[in-house]
């Protein structure tokens, strides 16, 4: 008969343990039951703040809904254990269920530590720990404008970021003299504090809370030093406490300050009872990170599933971490604070907000730890040197202030057992084995095969390097070519077209390509030529995809949508009436878009030129909703109407949109301008966004919405309008010049070597000496703008292309509509019938 294995806790560590039990064949030996306190299956707490953006747990779940059943594991949700009887060997659940066990694993994790000051239980005080906590926070936040976060550690700063994203005034209150006191020294914390404050978060250090203000609801904090902070909501993120109450009440030994005592094999003092994750106390240490918990889970699962084999032992874990806090890169590893005998090397650049520190062994030959703030690109390589005890080059400072010479490089040849991914305990040999097996030949496949890179993501650059190096060693070609017809990247084709004055696809493929081209390279080359010379895209009509070919988005049912430009979202009543009249004339469905424009849907192909003609005659132009081009600039009403506004965001948004309208790029471009830090225009979710300050404008770059939303990162602060426009000119042209095809600014910035700091150096400090040419190229594009709709309206020959049948004036007979809510829409697609063999 199978032995009964009960797991208390279905968090990240409990789930990883269950995964490893299944992987090692343990479900053949054990009857596995997992008890979860929350109402949902295991999800990713590391990226919990993403719930504020997505409002869905789907992207956070660690496994499909049927994973437990498929692997023969019983999962009980919203049913935590309330007692453990170690004598009769059974667990009692909150529902009264009795679960006998042979082996019991406590993965109960931790709970939020809430300081015990007067009034902490008032309405409006929340902890930041679970999805349910976040839902309560979002609901209550609707009625407040000022929020404080108690705790300046990792979770506290994540919470402050979430508050800022909700458009609230955000404060961080920290008892210690610096932020992230366990990871950063004073100098690093000072740099981080300046960076975060520049984004709008207000930091209060050395603050001991005396009491909460307010009657029944929270209204602020009264500090021991006599100062007061008036806010309407408090989020507590002041640390964690191990959930060891079950152990205490059942005779399982716990530490004096909490945590279940375990040995090197994760055993407690009770036979057959184990503890892993944040509840486990190993050699006086409780680990508050997920990577150590994963390591414990793997070791324990192996030992339980491999009787008779040599057991694995847990020797403690590395506490290295890399994350992006409110757009600021922060990383620390090893003995970051230099608590052992050491030689420190530090580099600070106050202008760019970068701090880097290496902690070397006393003889200067080995790396013992380090801190990176503002620029953490070197983290992956530095961590590898530290974890694998690699001897450093003669000039170790080159690791943080420059590139070491090839012969002095410490990264040349790591052993196969070198750990690459700390979160999932993946070595270089594991990666090479997966690649050599043929199971994965790209980065996505390598992540799926090995789990490497799916935790904090800090190891991805090294994974990519190992992948490419191994593929080359196998004799495989590693290229960034556009397609098989061009042995050039998109960036190289851009330079070729610009330097050689190439203005057609035919000339490009004849002189620098082969064959006839394909659906990949044709639109790419057309976009490049349009980005350089700004000629109407219809000149290259036959090499475009459907949307650019017809200057409209094809919709379900075979009709097209027409989106006229409405700069900044501002429109007069007369123009609103015109749009309504045109919609009625052509029987079009009307919808307000997310970019503050009006979408007219249901137009037949042959109607497009007539619709455009009517719109152009009334002063409208193409909104380029169909193109890989500059689209919308969203805005709030700003200081002209809003009582919170500090600048005229509408006027600036109109200026920005009219300047960059229609400019072609590797991917679509969107922007927004917000009149204050409340961010009603959602500027930080755009390719470039502008937020008003009391002194001017903050410029953010590299954001996007969609399936994988990204927050834009601050490029420069408190700019006047002219400087802001100048920086946008340079940013856009540098992106157009260097990005790969169909790569948005967010992905481009992530892939850019040196990241945001390098981009700042290029755009602001003219590191490459190209800013004059970037500005000239942008001015040329702005000065040669032509409305693509008007270009067709004015040319009868181009209008002839807009016919469904080449030899008939008839419309597409398959286009059919039904009426719904007073407007027409396409008929539903027929449901596919199930076909059985």
Lowest mean pLDDT: which of 3-12, 289-298, 823-832? 823-832
| Distance, CA of 21 to CA of 15 (rounded, Å) | 10
From the centroid of its chain, how far is CA 252?
41
- The domain 112-241 is placed in CATH, from the list 1.10.10.10, 3.40.50.970, 3.50.50.60, 3.20.20.70, at 3.50.50.60
- Quickly state the pLDDT bin for 230 (edges 50, 70, 90): very high
Runs of H (alpha helix) within 113-185:
131-141, 154-165
pLDDT at 407: 34
Task: With 0.85 as the threshold, say if the pTM is over it.
Answer: no
Residue at token pair 């609801």: 217
DSSP labels, 441-497:
-SHHHHHHHH-TTSSS-TTHHHHHHHHHHHHHHTT------SBTTBSS-HHHHHHHH
Across 13-32, average pLDDT: 94
Across 32-52, average pLDDT: 87
Q: Which two tokens stand for residue 525?
A: 């080359």
| Residue 836 pLDDT > 50 | no
**Three-class SS state of 271:** coil
**What is the tens place of the pLDDT at every residue in 642-684?**
988 999 999 999 999 999 998 999 999 999 999 998 899 999 9
Q: Which two tokens stand for residue 827?
A: 């008929």
**What is the tens place of the pLDDT at every residue in 674-683?**
999 889 999 9
**What is the tens place of the pLDDT at every residue in 238-265?**
888 999 999 999 999 999 989 999 999 9
Torsion over CA: 786, 792, 798, 804 (sign): positive
Lowest mean pLDDT: which of 204-218, 451-465, 639-653, 725-739? 451-465
Contacts of 429 (CB under 8 A, 6+ apart): 416, 417
How long is the chain? 837
Superfamily of domain 553-783: Sulfite Reductase Hemoprotein, domain 1 (3.30.413.10)
Confirm or reject CATH 1.25.40.10 for domain 419-474, answering yes or no. no
Fold of 3-109+243-306: FAD/NAD(P)-binding domain (3.50.50)
| Residue 337 pLDDT > 50 | yes
- Quickly state the pLDDT bin for 409 (edges 50, 70, 90): very low
Neighbours of 182 (CB within 10 A): 13
- What φ, ψ does residue 436 adopt, rounded to 5°? -70, -25
| Residue 6 pLDDT > 90 | yes
| Distance, CA of 235 to CA of 161 (rounded, Å) | 12
Across 713-725, average pLDDT: 95
Q: Give CATH 3.30.390.30 domain extents, the chain.
A: 321-401
In this structure, are residues 108 and 9 in contact, taking their beta carbons and an 8 Å threshold?
yes
Lowest mean pLDDT: which of 25-34, 413-422, 695-704? 413-422
Residue at token pair 């406490």: 241
Q: Give CATH 1.10.10.1100 domain extents, the chain.
A: 419-474
| Residue 707 pLDDT > 60 | no
What does R_g of the chain's alpha carbons equal in angstroms?
30
Q: Give CATH 3.50.50.60 domain extents, the chain.
A: 3-109+243-306, 112-241
In this structure, are residues 663 and 626 in contact, taking their beta carbons and an 8 Å threshold?
no
First to last CA, the chain: 39
pLDDT at 411: 44
In this structure, are residues 169 and 146 in contact, taking their beta carbons and an 8 Å threshold?
yes
In this structure, are residues 782 and 657 in contact, taking their beta carbons and an 8 Å threshold?
no
Contacts of 437 (CB under 8 A, 6+ apart): none
| Residue 527 pLDDT > 60 | yes
Confirm or reject CATH 3.40.50.970 for domain 321-401, answering yes or no. no
**What is the tens place of the pLDDT at every residue in 109-129?**
999 889 989 999 999 999 988
pLDDT at 466: 82
Furthest C-alpha separation in the chain:
91
Q: Which two tokens stand for residue 609?
A: 């030129």
pLDDT at 279: 96
Closest CA to 712 of 675, 733, 687: 687
**What is the tens place of the pLDDT at every residue in 163-194?**
887 888 999 999 999 998 888 889 999 988 98
Which percentage of the chain shows pLDDT scores above 70? 93
- Quickly state the pLDDT bin for 708 (edges 50, 70, 90): low
Q: Which two tokens stand for residue 700?
A: 């953010």
In this structure, are residues 40 and 56 in contact, taking their beta carbons and an 8 Å threshold?
no
Q: Dihedral (C-alpha) 72, 75, 81, 87: value to the nearest 10 degrees?
A: -10
Across 419-440, average pLDDT: 82
| Residue 691 pLDDT > 50 | yes
The one-character DSSP state at 407 is G
pLDDT at 412: 46
| Distance, CA of 113 to CA of 651 (rounded, Å) | 47
| Distance, CA of 47 to CA of 66 (rounded, Å) | 22
Q: Dihedral (C-alpha) 757, 763, 766, 769: value to the nearest 10 degrees?
A: 120
* Exposure letters 713-733 (e unless 16+ CB within 10 A, then b): bbbbbebebeebbbbbbbbbb
Contacts of 151 (CB under 8 A, 6+ apart): 159, 172, 173, 174, 236, 237, 238, 239
| Residue 94 pLDDT > 60 | yes
642 is in an annotated binding site: yes
**What is the tens place of the pLDDT at every residue in 594-610?**
889 999 998 888 899 99
| Distance, CA of 660 to CA of 804 (rounded, Å) | 33
Percent of residues in the chain assigned helix, strand, coil, to nearest 5: 35, 25, 45
| Distance, CA of 523 to CA of 540 (rounded, Å) | 9
pLDDT at 769: 92
Q: Which two tokens stand for residue 192?
A: 């981080």
In this structure, are residues 133 and 126 in contact, taking their beta carbons and an 8 Å threshold?
yes
pLDDT at 171: 95
Mean pLDDT score of the chain: 87
| Residue 404 pLDDT > 50 | no
| Residue 462 pLDDT > 90 | no
| Distance, CA of 583 to CA of 268 (rounded, Å) | 73
459 is in an annotated binding site: no
Which percentage of the chain shows pLDDT scores above 90? 50
| Residue 100 pLDDT > 90 | yes
Across 144-163, average pLDDT: 88
636 is in an annotated binding site: yes
In this structure, are residues 235 and 159 in contact, taking their beta carbons and an 8 Å threshold?
yes
In this structure, are residues 125 and 212 in contact, taking their beta carbons and an 8 Å threshold?
yes
**What is the tens place of the pLDDT at every residue in 763-811?**
999 999 999 999 999 999 999 998 999 999 998 888 888 876 656 676 7
**What is the tens place of the pLDDT at every residue in 258-311?**
999 999 999 999 999 999 999 999 999 998 888 899 999 999 999 999 887 888
**Three-class SS state of 676:** coil
**Three-class SS state of 623:** coil
- What φ, ψ does residue 189 adopt, rounded to 5°? -65, -35
């Amino acid at each position: 008969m199978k032995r009964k294995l009960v797991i208390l806790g279905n968090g990240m560590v409990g789930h990883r343990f269950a995964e490893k039990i299944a992987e090692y064949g343990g479900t053949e030996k054990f009857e596995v039951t997992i008890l979860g306190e929350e109402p949902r299956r295991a999800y990713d707490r590391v990226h919990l703040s993403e719930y504020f953006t997505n409002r869905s747990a789907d992207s956070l779940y660690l496994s499909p809904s049927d994973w437990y059943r498929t692997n023969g594991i019983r999962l009980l949700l919203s049913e935590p254990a309330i007692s453990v009887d170690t004598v009769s060997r059974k667990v009692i659940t909150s529902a009264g269920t009795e679960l006998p066990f042979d082996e019991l694993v406590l993965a109960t994790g931790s709970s939020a530590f809430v300081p015990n000051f007067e009034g902490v239980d008032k309405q409006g005080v929340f902890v930041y720990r679970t999805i349910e906590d976040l839902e309560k926070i979002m609901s209550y936040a609707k009625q407040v404008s000022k929020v404080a976060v108690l705790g300046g550690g990792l979770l506290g700063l994540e919470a402050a970021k979430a508050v800022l994203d909700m458009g609230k005034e955000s404060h961080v209150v920290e008892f210690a003299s610096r932020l992230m006191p366990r990871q950063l020294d004073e100098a690093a914390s000072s740099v981080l504090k300046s960076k975060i404050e520049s984004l709008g978060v207000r930091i209060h250090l050395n603050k001991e809370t005396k009491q909460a203000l307010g009657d029944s609801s929270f209204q602020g904090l009264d500090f021991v030093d006599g100062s007061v902070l008036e806010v309407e909501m408090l989020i507590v993120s002041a640390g964690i406490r191990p959930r060891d109450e079950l152990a205490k009440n059942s005779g399982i030994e716990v530490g004096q300050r909490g945590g279940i005592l375990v040995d090197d094999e994760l055993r407690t003092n009770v036979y057959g009872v184990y503890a892993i994750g944040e509840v486990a106390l190993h050699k006086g240490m409780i680990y508050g990170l997920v990577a150590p918990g994963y390591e414990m889970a793997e070791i324990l699962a192996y030992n339980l599933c491999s009787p008779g084999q040599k057991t694995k032992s847990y020797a403690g874990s590395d506490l290295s971490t890399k994350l992006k806090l409110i757009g600021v890169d922060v990383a620390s590893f090893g003995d970051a604070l230099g608590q052992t005998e050491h030689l420190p090397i530090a580099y600070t650049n106050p202008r760019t907000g970068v701090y880097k520190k290496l902690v070397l062994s006393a003889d200067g030959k080995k790396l013992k730890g380090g801190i990176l703030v503002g620029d953490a690109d070197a983290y992956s390589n530095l961590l590898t040197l530290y974890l694998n005890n690699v001897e450093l080059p003669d000039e170790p400072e080159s690791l943080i202030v420059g590139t070491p010479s090839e012969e002095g490089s410490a990264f040349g040849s790591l052993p196969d057992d070198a750990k690459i991914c700390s979160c999932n305990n993946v070595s270089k040999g594991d990666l090479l084995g997966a690649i050599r097996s043929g199971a994965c030949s790209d980065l996505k496949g390598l992540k799926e095969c090995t789990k490497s890179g799916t935790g904090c993501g800090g190891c991805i650059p090294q994974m990519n390097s190992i992948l490419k190096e191994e593929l080359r060693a196998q004799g495989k070609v590693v290229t960034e070519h556009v397609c098989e017809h061009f042995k050039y990247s998109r960036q190289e084709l851009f330079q070729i077209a610009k330097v050689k004055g190439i203005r057609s696809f035919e000339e490009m493929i004849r002189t620098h390509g082969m064959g006839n081209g394909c659906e990949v390279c044709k639109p790419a080359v057309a976009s490049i030529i349009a980005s350089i010379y700004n000629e109407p895209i219809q000149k290259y009509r036959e090499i475009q995809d459907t949307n650019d070919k017809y200057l409209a988005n094809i919709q379900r049912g075979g009709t097209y949508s027409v989106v006229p430009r409405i700069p900044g979202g501002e429109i007069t009543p007369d123009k609103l009436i015109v749009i309504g009249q045109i919609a009625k004339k052509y029987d079009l469905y009307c919808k307000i878009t997310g970019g503050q424009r009006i979408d007219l849907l249901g137009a037949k192909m042959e109607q497009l030129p007539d619709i455009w003609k009517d719109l152009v005659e009334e002063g409208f132009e193409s909104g380029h909703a169909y193109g890989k081009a500059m689209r919308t600039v969203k805005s709030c009403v700003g200081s002209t109407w809003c009582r919170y506004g500090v600048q005229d965001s509408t006027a600036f948004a109109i200026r920005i949109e009219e300047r960059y309208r229609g400019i072609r790029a590797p991917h679509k471009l969107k922007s927004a301008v917000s009149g204050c830090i409340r961010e009603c225009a959602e500027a930080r979710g755009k390719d470039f966004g502008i937020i008003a300050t009391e002194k001017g404008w903050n410029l953010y770059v590299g954001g996007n919405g969609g399936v994988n939303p990204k927050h834009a990162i601050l490029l420069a602060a408190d700019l006047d309008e002219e400087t802001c426009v100048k920086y946008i000119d340079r940013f856009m042209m540098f992106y157009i010049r260097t990005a790969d095809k169909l790569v948005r600014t967010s992905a481009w910035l992530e892939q850019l070597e040196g990241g945001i700091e390098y981009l700042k150096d290029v755009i602001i400090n003219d590191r490459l000496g190209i800013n004059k040419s970037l500005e000239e190229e942008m001015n040329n594009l702005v000065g040669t703008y032509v409305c693509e709709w008007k270009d067709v309206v004015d040319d009868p020959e181009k209008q002839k292309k807009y016919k469904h049948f080449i030899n008939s004036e008839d419309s597409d007979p398959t286009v059919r509509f039904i009426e719904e809510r007073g407007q027409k829409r396409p008929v539903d697609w027929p449901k596919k019938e199930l076909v059985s063999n």
